[in-house]
Amino acid sequence: MIQKAKGTYDIYGDYGKRLLYVEELIEGLMEKYNYEYFRTPIFESSSLFHRGVGDTTDIVTKETYDFKDRGDRDLTLRPEGTAGIVRSYIENKMYGNHNIPVKAWYYGPMFRYERPQSGRYREFYQFGVEAFGSSDALMDAEIISIPVNLYKLLGLKGIKVNINTLGDNESRNNYRNALIEYFKPYINDLCEDCQERYNKNPLRILDCKVDHNLDVMKNAPRTIDYLNETSKEHFENVKKYLDSMNIDYEINTNLVRGLDYYTHTVFEVEASVEGFGSQNVLCGGGRYDNLVETLDGPKTSGVGFAMGMERLMTALEYENVEMPLIDGIDCYVIPMSENEKDYAMHICGDLRLNGFITEIDYNNRNLKNNFKNADKFNSKFIIIIGEQEKDSGILTIKNNGAKEEYKISHDELIDFLDENMGE
């Protein structure tokens, strides 16, 4: 038997229903925030991710699915969504022909060659947003408010918002130099990856999953002590706007996030539900004012986040969050014999187009088994089509709850159901 590839999973049943509910909520929320739906390709030129996500991130050095196509092109399955959206923003010249800021949202599969474990897959889904063209702290605060409000709408309570700032380029450079000085005597105590990070991107040492408990990490210099005035003011404003929206957050001075491109605000939302496990970061993001330029676009501010859907679904499950899922169907249609199947099919079509969830017996069951089957579907009504019903157009309808039987003409069927469905 062929099995699914390692690190992938199938969706069906109730999980599928719950996921669709969450997806619809996301879509509705993005409409209210007035974000534009983007869909970019699942594979892109490998160089996009090398330059966009950064050559020192784990994602790019160890986790990409790279391949050559039959035309010998180097392609990569996207490990994240931002680089593709930025490419699209630049390639479609949105800086010149769109409302500014351009507010984009996306949803889709991402691919990373990681060690599969709970909350970590090789194919996983992200919902994310990116906003281009505003350097105002309003935008940072708006972006942070999106996941917070989504969790609120869903009824997910156990969350914690962590924020930090890296400051602008000048502040970030000062901080970088301070880190280089600070870690110099300890370099041999750090893991191999961190020794490499020390040379390429020392900020990322703070993001290390191996060394994060070392004392040398806990006492490391903090970004907020290296901010220039502009960067301080920006961060103060982000906090002010979050306060004004009643969003609780904590400042976590070690938060730097895994990607190379962040400036100013970085944030993560954690699930704080008991027993959730170590993969508890539900979403993360921040400001990236250098990225568009790095990918050959005009200098453009950007800010965004990405949210892992699998971890969100797990958090919802852990908190037993209820969802208003549809349980049961409206109509179950029974053709009594071969002769009535065409008419029964015609009625099914009418019902479905008029908004009723409808099943038909596809398996030539006898009447008794059909009633059982209708019960399994939890159908509100059963419509029986025999020879007489077909000839006269007067249908026999059973109300499965009240156990009453009605004779209703085909013309009046939809009105009848509209009036009686609520019972």
Residues that bind ligand ATP (CB under 6 A): 80, 112, 114, 119-121, 124, 126, 258, 279, 281-284, 306-308, 310-311
Closest approach of Cβ 52 to ligand ATP, in Å?
Answer: 13
- Three-class secondary structure of residue 112 per DSSP: coil
Residue at shortest CB range from ligand ATP:
308
Nearer to ligand ATP, 130 or 340 (CB): 130
Spatial separation of the C-alpha atoms in residues 411 and 73, rounded to whole Å:
61
Nearer to ligand ATP, 162 or 301 (CB): 162
Structure tokens at 338: 């071969």
Closest approach of Cβ 145 to ligand ATP, in Å?
Answer: 17
Q: Where are the beta strands (DSSP E) in 27-92?
A: 36-37, 43-45, 65-68, 74-77
Nearer to ligand ATP, 36 or 114 (CB): 114
Spatial separation of the C-alpha atoms in residues 89 and 381, rounded to whole Å:
51
Nearer to ligand ATP, 165 or 379 (CB): 165
Nearer to ligand ATP, 82 or 88 (CB): 82
Nearer to ligand ATP, 112 or 398 (CB): 112
The amino acid that residue 88 corresponds to is: S
| Cα–Cα distances in angstroms (integers) from residue 127 to residues 22, 43, 54, 109, in the given order | 11, 17, 21, 9
- Three-class secondary structure of residue 221 per DSSP: coil
Closest approach of Cβ 63 to ligand ATP, in Å?
Answer: 8
Q: Where are the beta strands (DSSP E) in 246-326?
A: 250-251, 263-271, 281-287, 302-308
Closest approach of Cβ 226 to ligand ATP, in Å?
Answer: 23
Question: How many CB atoms within 10 Å of residue 67?
Answer: 12
DSSP-assigned letters across all residues of 346-404:
HHHHHHHHTT--EEE--S---HHHHHHHHHHTT-SEEEEE-HHHHHH-EEEEEETTTTE
Closest approach of Cβ 266 to ligand ATP, in Å?
Answer: 10
Bridge partners (DSSP) listed for residue 110:
124
Closest approach of Cβ 401 to ligand ATP, in Å?
Answer: 42
Closest approach of Cβ 177 to ligand ATP, in Å?
Answer: 25
Closest approach of Cβ 420 to ligand ATP, in Å?
Answer: 45
For residue 101, whether the previous peptide bond is cis, meaning omega lies within 30 degrees of 0, is yes
Four-CA torsion 254, 87, 169, 97, nearest 10 degrees:
-120
Closest approach of Cβ 216 to ligand ATP, in Å?
Answer: 21
First to last CA, the chain: 48
Non-local CB neighbours of 189 within 8 Å, separated by 6+ positions: 214, 216
Nearer to ligand ATP, 119 or 133 (CB): 119
Is the separation of the CB atoms in 247 and 161 below 8 Å?
yes
Nearer to ligand ATP, 133 or 258 (CB): 258
Spatial separation of the C-alpha atoms in residues 95 and 385, rounded to whole Å:
61
Nearer to ligand ATP, 9 or 406 (CB): 9
- Three-class secondary structure of residue 105 per DSSP: strand
Element (H, E) at 63: none
Nearer to ligand ATP, 281 or 329 (CB): 281
Nearer to ligand ATP, 80 or 140 (CB): 80
Closest approach of Cβ 323 to ligand ATP, in Å?
Answer: 20
Closest approach of Cβ 146 to ligand ATP, in Å?
Answer: 14
